[in-house]
Amino acid sequence: MAPPKISDWTKAKNGTNANKSPLKFDDFGIYMRHKQSKLVEICKDKVDNALPQIFKDCICYINGYTSPDPRELAEIISSRGGVSIQFLNGKTAVTHIIATQLTPRKMEEFRKCKVVKPQWVVDSAAAGKLLPIFDYSIIDLAGNNMTLKLTKPVQMKQPPHKAGQDSDNFILQFYAKSRLHHLSTWKSELKHHFQSHVTEYMTQKASSSQKDRQIIAHIDFDCFFASVSLLKFPHLAQKPVCVTNSTSTTGNSSADIASCNYIAREYGITNGMWLGKARQLCPDLQCLSYDFEAYETASKALYDYILNIGVDAVLPVSVDEVLVDISSLCYARVNGEVSLADAAHQVAQEMRQHIFESTRCTISVGIGPNVLCAKVALRRAKPDGYVVLLDSASIDQELGACSLKSLPRIGPSLSAKLSQNLNAHTLSDLRAYTLEQLQKCVGSRTGEVLFKYCRNEDDTDIRIIPDRKSVSADISWGIRFNSLQETENFMRSFTKEISRRLKEINMKGSFLTVKLLIRAKDAPIESAKHLGSGKCDSITRSTPLYMYTDEPDYIFSYAWKEVLAVNAPPEELRGIGLQITKLVHQDYEDKQQRLNFALLEEKGKNNKRKSGSDDCDIPSQIDLAVLSQLPPSLQEEIRKRIRLGKVVDAGHKEIEDSPIQVPSQIDPLVVAQLPHEIRKAIEKDIATRGEKCDVLPRLSQVDQEVFDALPEHIRQEIMNEYDREEKEVENEKEMAADTEINDEVTLSQWTILKEGLGENISWEIFITLPKSVQVQTICEHHELKKRHKAVGQKPGMRDTFAKLKGMRMNEDDFDNFLSGWVEARKDIGPDYETEKVIGKYISDLIDIEGNRSTAINGVKWLDILLKGCGNQLWHTTIKRLQRTVIDKTGCEVIF
DNA sequence: TGTATATCTTGG
DNA sequence: GCCCCCCAAGATATACA
Ligand SMILES: Nc1ccn([C@H]2C[C@H](O)[C@@H](COP(=O)(O)OP(=O)(O)OP(=O)(O)O)O2)c(=O)n1
């Protein structure tokens, strides 16, 4: 089965498609029940003792469309002593499957049974005896499904795919059957979907719902997988059931139970428990198989509904679980008769009714003023109910009594810590501690969260769905390699998989982390769970990729290097993970590249002509490895500009040593958007040459619009670069004394130099350079700094800044200026130039005018303006400005 | 003090 | 056949300046 996909998740918004459920699940459910009861009737009434009871030992499952139709077939069978069922109850021993054709999936499922065509039933009845099934089999003797032969060969008896030998198929099959993989993938897709959706809503709704008290609803299907899987086996609904991969009916199975119904829970069975243990608790436990498609369908019904009622914000928690802001929805219903709580009750009831009608599964709803309270309310509501927790008395009561472990963000580890160190088991236990005590015990951030929890507060803002920061794949099941070759086979397939995932979301990354799970020394060779990982040591190694990439072979080359570096025996490997970070959207990259080359051409026209050469100014040497790691398009550009005759091979291993030439003037924008590691490499190269070249473009050279279009983490990185440069200028005086060169460059001088030249160049290499180059390099280092200093002194002013600087502003003017700045750039983030001017302005306010309060209040105002803003850049800016004020005033505790 | 990466924790 | 123990984010820890 292909990885799950929610490509056509609803795009309906309130209005157009309102109340129009695309599903007819309600009808479907009724239809199923009807059908089921009809069949029972048939079985009971139509037994006819006058007919030969040829089917008396047969239990036949009629699958899908048949001719004669299933009803008629059932009649033939039951009237002759047989049992026919139209629904598999999971584990009943069916003797015959009656089907015209089977999907590969079903084929797999029914491998053990006799699968025969409907005509077998008809002919046997006519003959008055069971005919041999041979002529009626839909499976030929070679083991191929005859009816499907034309499309795709079906492997009937193939042994399971091995991770190290048939890696592609192993990975495919593993993920197709992994519920945790489905769960994770669904969540990612849902989050992505609602990321764009929410922004549309929020722009209008933010202001109104921020003022009123927020109302959050936490919605969750009851025992989701179990409920949905039960739809097809309604006769088991009153029995203890669970959903699991295991097909065995007895024995000590190590299969996970994904979900069990509430009847099973009475026996102490829980989600995630092994089937073997659950059977000990309840021998009568019924097993259902996964039905991922049906889970998607039910989930879609829920999310469709949520969108159609026009909520203020949606935060998907899982495929079956969602947090929604229903503030507007509730407030709109409030009038003289209807209180806010009444409105919340109505909304919850309507939700529950609608979802049951459309899915035949029950949801529970918890409603509260924040996520914490909604979650607690949900717990009390389960199963099949709802709880509204809006008045402070009941909130106090419910939350205080809550066991810590049941609260969001408090898992086994944290709750153990709290119980051991603070002897706290409920929120009211925790109330006795100060913020500082809590932080000391569990860390600053978590301490703050707990402190707020105790006061029924929770800052979680469900409107913020941050950008994706990583893409990863893990497998820690079925990993059993006999040789390094098998490990390599797997890694090749696995890098293909991660590449596929990157391409699927149109992203590339520039940083790789490899995780290896290695059998722990005290763990047995074979884990308790069949082909499981058992207890392992985890080793992670990471490396830059030197370019934004989604290419499987390229990623493999680095991943494999890391795997080899760990040097673990292949036999001991139990799990492997790949993670790609420092992501960019492919769109960005394309756009930027086009932009940059347009700019390059422009520059060529304006600047290069007068130097008399349209070639690069100062050709020089660069490590070919560095060049080959640049994005292909950039490589091409460089080659064009230096007229490199032959094309550089992408496989840089063979040609590592041959030096090529590179222009010293690379477009600053191109440099600015390169991954940090590459910029460092170029810096290193150019600095080592001792040429006068400023790798990091001056700030004024960076086009603001282009800068804004860059992904956040890159903008952040560029800003950091400038920060670093600035600090160096400040330190220059102290360093100057150290860099007098006499006979030898000392190591201490080197450590200082290193910073400016790029960290990758080693002392050993530097010392081998000719003295003249060393001197030149160091001189260059100083030159570089002086120029940066000059830049810092005359930043390019725009009109607004001139105003800010020249005008004698009062506090309101300043605050208005800040408001305007935030309003214009709230989403794209601050521009550094304005930030610098503001920084200078507040410095001057304090230093020259002695006006501390305007400076302090201005920065505080900025903080208030950006409360709840998801853009990290703004928060970094605020921090920096706060730091400026703190430094200038010498007062640490203002903010 | 901060930044960058490694590791742990959480949740469904 | 047994069985399909994923994956992303946030916080803290650690290393280094
Ligand atoms: N260890 C787990 C926990 C959950 N799930 C899957 C199956 C669940 O049906 C689904 C939703 O998880 P919930 O925690 O919401 O649990 P249920 O919906 O099964 O039950 P409840 O009524 O307690 O929500 O996620 C799983 O595969 N393995």
| Strand partners for A519 | A536
pLDDT higher than threshold 60 for residue A554: yes
Q: pLDDT tens digit string along A624-640?
A: 334 444 443 344 333 33
For ligand 1, atom 18, name the residue with the nearest CA.
A223
Nucleotides of B under 7 A from a protein CB: 1-12
Nucleotide closest to residue A411 (CA–C1'): B10
Mean pLDDT value of segment A250-271: 97
- Chain C, protein-covered positions (CB within 7 A): 1-13, 17
The confidence score (pLDDT) of residue A822 equals 78
Question: Could you identify the atom of ligand 1 that is nearest to the CA of residue A364?
Answer: 22
Is the pLDDT at A610 greater than 50? The verdict is no
Assess whether the C-beta atom of A382 lies below 6 angstroms from ligand 1.
Answer: yes
A541 touches strand B (CB under 7 A): yes
Residue with tokens 């009475």: A266
Rounded, the Å distance between the CA of A553 and C1' of B9 is 33
pLDDT for residue A738: 41
Which atom of ligand 1 is nearest the CA belonging to A262? Answer: 22
Confidence label for A612 from pLDDT (cuts 50, 70 and 90): very low
Q: What is the pLDDT of residues A42-79, one digit of tens each?
A: 344 556 678 888 888 877 677 765 677 767 778 887 78
Res A818: pLDDT? 78
Distance A269 CA to ligand 1 centre (A): 13
Is residue A244 in contact with ligand 1, taking CB distance under 6 Å?
A: no
CA distance A404 to A414: 9
- Distance from C-alpha of A354 to C-alpha of A356, rounded to nearest angstrom: 5
Judge whether A691 and A780 are in contact, CB under 8 Å. Answer: yes
pLDDT (mean) for A488-514: 97
Ligand 1 pocket test, pick from A223, A228, A257, A261 with the greatest ligand atom count within 8 Å of Cβ, gives: A223
pLDDT for residue A116: 81
3-class state of residue A230 by DSSP:
helix
Protein residue whose Cα sits closest to atom 17 of ligand 1? A223
Of A200-204, A318-322, A485-489, A608-612, which gets the smallest average pLDDT?
A608-612
So what's the pLDDT on residue A592? 58
Q: Where are the alpha helices (DSSP H) in A575-653?
A: 586-606, 624-629, 632-642
Confidence label for A813 from pLDDT (cuts 50, 70 and 90)? low
Q: How far, CA to CA in Å, does A52 sit from each of A43, A610, A664?
A: 16, 105, 96
Tell me how far CA of residue A822 lies from CA of A126, A684, A881, in angstroms: 84, 37, 14
Atom of ligand 1 nearest to the CA of A383: 22
Counting ligand 1 atoms within 8 A of each CB, the residue from A259, A320, A382 with the most, and so the one to mutate, is: A259
Please give the Cα distance from A317 to A299 (Å, whole number). Answer: 12
Determine the Cα–Cα distance for residues A740 and A565; give it in Å rounded to an integer: 41
Nearest to A118 by CA among A100, A130, A134: A100
The confidence score (pLDDT) of residue A673 equals 47
Query: Residue A109: which residues within 8 A CB-CB, separation 6 or more?
Result: A289
Better-predicted residue by pLDDT, A770 or A142:
A142
Cβ A364 under 6 angstroms from ligand 1: no
- Residue A68 is predicted with a pLDDT of 79
Q: Which position has the higher pLDDT, A566 or A20?
A: A566
Q: Whose CA is nearest to atom 27 of ligand 1?
A: A258
Question: Measured in angstroms, how far is the CA atom of residue A271 from the centroid of ligand 1?
Answer: 6
Q: Is the CB of A694 under 6 A from ligand 1?
A: no
- Is the pLDDT score of A853 beyond 80? no
Least confident of A12-26, A31-45, A267-281, A464-478: A12-26
State the first-to-last Cα distance of chain A, in angstroms, to the nearest integer: 55
Q: What is the pTM of this model?
A: 0.63
Which DSSP string corresponds to A283-312? TT-EEE---HHHHHHHHHHHHHHHHHTT-S
Q: Is the pLDDT assigned to residue A87 strictly greater than 60?
A: no
Nucleotide nearest A271 (Cα, C1'): B12
Q: ipTM score here? A: 0.98
Q: What is the mean pLDDT of residues A243-247?
A: 95
The model's pLDDT over A644-691, given as tens digits with 9 standing for 90+, comes to 222 222 222 222 222 222 333 343 434 444 555 555 555 555 554 444
Task: Write the residue with the smallest CA distance to atom 13 of ligand 1.
Answer: A223
Q: Is pLDDT above 90 for A447?
A: yes
| Better-scored residue on pLDDT, A798 or A607 | A607
Which residue's alpha carbon is at the smallest distance from atom 21 of ligand 1? A223
Asked if pLDDT for residue A597 goes beyond 60, the answer is no
Ligand 1 contact, A270 CB (< 6 A) = no
Domains, in order of start, for chain A: 6-147 (3.40.50.10190), 206-222+293-390 (3.30.70.270), 233-290 (3.40.1170.60), 391-466 (1.10.150.20), 470-590 (3.30.1490.100), 791-889 (1.20.58)
Give the closest residue (by CA) to ligand 1 atom 28: A258
- Spanning CA of A414 to C1' of C14, the rounded length in angstroms is 20
Give mean pLDDT, residues A353-367. Answer: 98
- The percentage of chain A sitting over the pLDDT mark of 70, rounded to a whole number, equals 57
Q: Using the predicted structure, report yes or no on whether residue A494 has a pLDDT greater than 90.
A: yes
Which single residue has its CA nearest the C1' atom of nucleotide B3? Answer: A720
Query: CA-to-CA distance for A661 and A643, rounded, in angstroms?
Result: 9
Predicted local confidence at residue A825, as pLDDT: 73
Q: Give yes or no for a contact between A48 and A79, defined as CB atoms under 8 angstroms apart.
A: yes
Report pLDDT for A839: 76
Does residue A600 have a pLDDT over 90? no
Angle, in degrees to the nearest 10, between helices A167-177 and A484-504: 60
Residue nearest to nucleotide C8 (CA to C1'): A470
Q: Which residue is nearest to nucleotide C7 (CA to C1')?
A: A184
A739 by Cβ neighbours in 10 Å (0-12 / 13-18 / 19+) ranks as middle
- Reported as a single tens digit per residue, the pLDDT across A878-890 is 777 777 777 666 6
Nearest to A455 by CA among A357, A540, A332, A372: A372
- pLDDT for A585 beyond 70: yes
pLDDT at A457: 97
CB of A410 nearer than 7 A to strand B: yes
A782 vs A552, which has greater pLDDT? Answer: A552
> Which of A104-113, A292-301, A352-361, A766-775 is least confident?
A766-775
Please work out whether the CB of residue A259 comes within 6 Å of at least one atom of ligand 1. yes
Comparing A498-502, A592-596, A785-789, the range with the smallest average pLDDT is A785-789
pLDDT bin (cut points 50, 70, 90) of residue A529 is: very high
Say which residue the tokens 């490590």 belong to: A623
As a whole number, the mean pLDDT across chain A is 72
User: pLDDT: is A166 or A204 the higher one?
Assistant: A166
The residues, any chain, with a CB within 8 Å of residue A107's CB and separated by 6 or more, are A115, A139, A145, A148, A154, A156
Atom of ligand 1 nearest to the CA of A318: 11
Angle between helices A771-793 and A676-689 (to 10 degrees): 120
Give residue A624's pLDDT: 36
Distance from residue A414's CA to nucleotide B9's C1', rounded to whole Å: 8
Question: With bands split at pLDDT 50, 70 and 90, how would you rate the model's confidence at A710?
Answer: low
- Closest nucleotide to the alpha carbon of A544, via C1': B5
Q: How far is the CA of A827 from the C1' of B5 (A)?
A: 28
* CA–CA dist A716, A589 (Å, integer): 17
pLDDT of residue A885: 73
Q: A173: which nucleotide lies closest, measuring CA to C1'?
A: C4
**Nearest atom, ligand 1, residue A260 CA:** 19
The answer to whether residue A12 scores a pLDDT higher than 70 is no
Question: Any idea which nucleotide's C1' is nearest the CA of A468?
Answer: C8
Q: Which residue has the higher pLDDT, A377 or A811?
A: A377
Protein residue closest to B5, using CA and C1': A542
DSSP summary character for residue A2 = P
Q: How far is the CA of A316 from the C1' of C5 (A)?
A: 24
